[in-house]
Chain A
Amino acid sequence: MQEVTEKKEFTPNIVAFCCNWCSYAGADLAGSSRLTYPANVKIIRVPCSCRVNPMFVLKAFQQGADGVILCGCHPGDCYYVTGNYYTRRRMSLLYSFLNYMGIEKERTRVEWVSAAEGARFSAVMNDFVKQVTELGENRRLTDLRVKEGE
Chain B
Amino acid sequence: MREVELKMKERAAELLQSGEVARVIGWKKGEFYFDPTPAVFESADELDGFVYNGFCGANLSKYLIQQSKKEGKTAIFLKPCDSFSFNQLVKEHRIKREDIYVIAIECQGKLDVEKLKEKGVSAVTEVEENGGEVVVSSLYGTVTLAKDEVLLSKCETCKSKVHQVKDEEIVFNEMQAGKKDRFEMVEKLEAMTEAERFAFWKEQLSKCIRCNACRNVCPACSCIKCVFDNPASGVAAKANDSEFEEQMFHIIRAFHVAGRCTDCGECSRVCPQNIPLHLLNRKFIKDIDTLYGEYQAGETADGKTPLTSYTESDAEPNDVMNGEAK
Contact = CB atoms under 8 A, between A and B. Distances in A.
Nearest to B259: A93
A97 B255 contact: yes
Contacts of B197: 100-102
Contact of B291 (A54, A55, A92): A92
B247 interface: yes
A13 to B, nearest CB: 15
B311 to A, nearest CB: 8
A103 B194 contact: yes
A75 B317 contact: no
A110 B316 contact: yes
B193 to A, nearest CB: 9
B321 A96 contact: yes
B229 to A, nearest CB: 14
Contacts of B248: 55, 58, 62
**B interface: dominant SS:** helix
A140 interface: yes
Contact of A88 (B245, B247, B317): B317
Contacts, number: 118
A86 B307 contact: yes
A92 B198 contact: no
B309 to A, nearest CB: 8
Contact of A144 (B243, B254, B292, B325): B243
B321 A99 contact: yes
Contacts of B183: none
A54 B234 CA distance: 13
Contact of B244 (A94, A96, A108, A142): A142
Residue of B201, B287, B312, B321 with most partner-chain A CB within 10 A: B321
B320 A141 contact: no
A141 B283 CA distance: 19
B255 A94 contact: yes
Interface string A65-98: 0000000000110000010011011111111111
B315 interface: yes
A86 B258 CA distance: 14
Given A89-B307, A101-B198, A102-B195, 20 more contacts: A55-B233, A58-B252, A85-B314, A88-B310, A88-B314, A89-B292, A92-B317, A97-B283, A98-B251, A99-B321, A101-B251, A102-B194, A103-B198, A109-B318, A142-B244, A143-B244, A144-B242, A144-B243, A145-B241, A145-B242
Interface of A: 54-55, 58-59, 61-62, 75-76, 82, 85-86, 88-105, 108-111, 140-145
Interface of B: 189-190, 194-202, 227, 233-234, 241-245, 247-248, 251-252, 254-255, 258, 280, 283-284, 287-288, 291-292, 306-308, 310-312, 314-318, 320-322, 325
